[in-house]
Amino acid sequence: MKGAQQKIYTVNNNLNATHNVLCAIVESGLDIHLVHLGTMGVYGYGTAGMKIPEGYLNVQVVTEKGEVIEQEILYPANPGSIYHMTKTQDQLFFGFYNQNDGVKVTDLHQGIVWGTQTVQTRLDERLINRFDYDGDYGTVLNRFLMQAVINYPLTVHGTGGQTRAFIHIQDTVRCIQIALENPPAAGDRVNILNQMTETYRVRDLANLVSEITGVPIEYVKNPRNEDDENELHVSNDRFLGLGLEPITLDNGLLDEVSDIAKKYSHRCDKSKIKCVSYWNARKD
């Protein structure tokens, strides 16, 4: 969202990559199950007034004769960024190639990933995952953790009432494994699962980090074009039913502070923490 060139690159890169993979699957003639790591952002971050289902929504449609018929449709997309918009269009690619060519697809609508270690990466420090804390790529929790260990006030955008879905990186790996082990049958529609384990308001997340570290919170102007406050209730019953045992922020966050953020805080570039990319041309 930094500018036109970045938007053009995101659209070209994301959509062409997805479409190329689907074309390759069809041309190969092989029985391939595509697992797509998508985003909860396809649903949007407004208050839905309901628990968001896993991909599909049952609706009633009134015909011109006044009859009521029931249909099942993709949950209405409401992207909040160019990236999220490309993910909503991925859904249409999957639906078309599933119906037209019989491609088996599982689409994982993933929440914000936190944590940097899995069982495997803990075996050797060289396997550690990336930890982005900057204003462009850093997810909100990573930013808060890095700010806390260098005693930099936790910067909350707007009121902090934005509610988001979260999942630990180990649970992400486990969910992908579950998806691979439970492929859709031939002829099944696109399989959509919500890959998240809990939701938090940003200000509540900041309070949680502040309580652990003692670093104060600072509320700043929101550079994004989004609702100040929203509710987010999400169904994730299918992964839980398939054996997922979530790692929650309550029982895993302290390890992330001590094992990662503190250990590598000397590498932090404070000038990169502040978010300077605006969602649109208005910067007032």
Q: Residue 84: helix, strand or coil by DSSP?
A: helix
| Length of the chain (residues) | 284
In the residue annotation, 39 being an active-site residue is answered as yes
Number of CB atoms found within 10 A of residue 141's CB: 24
Catalytic residue check, 87: yes
User: How far apart (Å, rounded) are the C-alpha atoms in residues 116 and 150?
Assistant: 19
Distance of CA 209 to the CA centre of its chain: 21
Residue 112's DSSP bridge partners are 166
Q: DSSP letter at 266?
A: G
Quick one: which of 232, 230, 221, 80 has its CA closest to 162? 230
Whole-angstrom Cα distance, residue 172 to residue 230? 25
- Give residue 264's Cα distance to chain centre: 25
Is 264 a known active-site residue?
Answer: no
* Helix or strand holding residue 97 (H, E): helix 82-101
- Exactly one of 83, 219, 264, 278 is catalytic; which is it? 83
Amino acid at 16: N
Annotated catalytic residue within 39, 116, 155, 163: 39
Catalytic residue among 18, 75, 86, 87: 87
Give the number of other CB atoms < 10 A from CB of residue 1. Answer: 17
Residues taking part in catalysis? 39, 83, 87
